[in-house]
Amino acid sequence: MENHTLLRAAGYTLLASLLFAGMGVAVRYASAELPTAVVVFLRNLFGLLALLPWLVGNGGGVQALKTRRLGAHLFRVASGLTAMYCFFYALANLHLAEAVILNYSSPLFIALFALLWLGERASARVMTAIVIGFVGVGLIVKPGSGVWSPAAIAGVGAGVLTALAMVGIRNLSATEPTRRIVFYFSFFATLASAVPMIYHWQTPSAPVFIAMVLAGIGATLAQLLLTKSYSLVPAAQVGPYTYASVIFAAGFGWLLWGEIPDPMSFAGAALIIIAGIMTLRGRQPSPVGNA
């Protein structure tokens, strides 16, 4: 029975990873036509619309959404939404797999923030993982080779800000149910990302519009699948499967754009994945993501 449950959880996680990589493809495709601000708004809008049936279906009405921790929710929104802007900019300007793996460096920063900010003691294993992971990040962004580009900075920034958002979620989860956390992020992220549309709105073509609808729905389904997966088994057992997104992204990047990361990027990705798995084995990350 336990093996069957683990297989189900792994299946949910792998499907979520495929959907996240597919969202990256849609964002990359849309970014060739639209500015990042518009892409972020459309992803949030369609993600919120896709969430509504789940929110309504769980019952409880408006009462279930009332909170006394609006400030903590807004911190999570600010960090998560800024991470999304950084990630989508990186997706538009880096190789697909490189942008995805830099975003997946967030477990390293979570461990670092827990050590420096929350005062948690880190084991030698976690400290080793942090060092390994940052070496991997350096191999991908290559700061000494003249390619320390805005896109590379944005990719690293996405990992840092996603980690901040996850720390915020961890803080909120002590008193707030998943449904409330997801609603406040989706609602306020959509509202906040709508403001720049006053200046940056561009009407998407039909294919790009469809791509962004699919991106919003796919990302929402992926979040729900991860939530289900983490409810079945401990995070340490299924967390490593989320790195399948990097493999899917590399495959999509090669098939659709002929992208082949250089050897240093391959080595960096391997180190980040190893380090991420090491930190995930020692921690309990939240399944509620930003992408």
The per-residue pLDDT for range 214-255, each reduced to its tens digit, is: 999 999 999 888 878 877 877 667 777 888 888 899 999 999
Q: Would you state the torsion angle of the CA atoms of residues 72, 77, 82, 84, taken in this order, to the nearest 10 degrees?
A: 140
Where in 87-158 does DSSP place strands (E)? none
Q: Are 105 and 133 in contact (CB under 8 A)?
A: yes
Proportion of the chain above pLDDT 70, given as a percent: 88
> HEC string of 85-102?
HHHHHHHHHCCHHHHHHH
- State the pLDDT at residue 136: 85
User: d(Cα 85, Cα 37) in Å, to the nearest integer?
Assistant: 7
- State the pLDDT at residue 82: 97
User: d(Cα 167, Cα 173) in Å, to the nearest integer?
Assistant: 10
Q: Are 161 and 85 in contact (CB under 8 A)?
A: no
**pLDDT tier for residue 263 given thresholds of 50, 70 and 90:** confident
Give residue 210's Cα distance to chain centre.
21
Mean pLDDT (whole number) for 274-278: 82
The per-residue pLDDT for range 98-127, each reduced to its tens digit, is: 999 899 888 888 877 777 766 667 677 778
Nearest to 284 by CA among 234, 210, 220: 234
* Helix (H) / strand (E) containing 235: helix 235-238
Nearest to 19 by CA among 273, 222, 276, 183: 222
Structure token digits, residue 76: 């999570």
pTM of the prediction? 0.88
CA–CA distance from 209 to each of 3, 96, 258, 280 (Å)? 41, 20, 24, 36
**pLDDT tier for residue 288 given thresholds of 50, 70 and 90:** low
Mean pLDDT (the chain) is 85
Nearest to 186 by CA among 289, 85, 89: 289
**pLDDT tier for residue 35 given thresholds of 50, 70 and 90:** very high
Proportion of the chain above pLDDT 90, given as a percent: 40
Q: Are 221 and 227 in contact (CB under 8 A)?
A: no
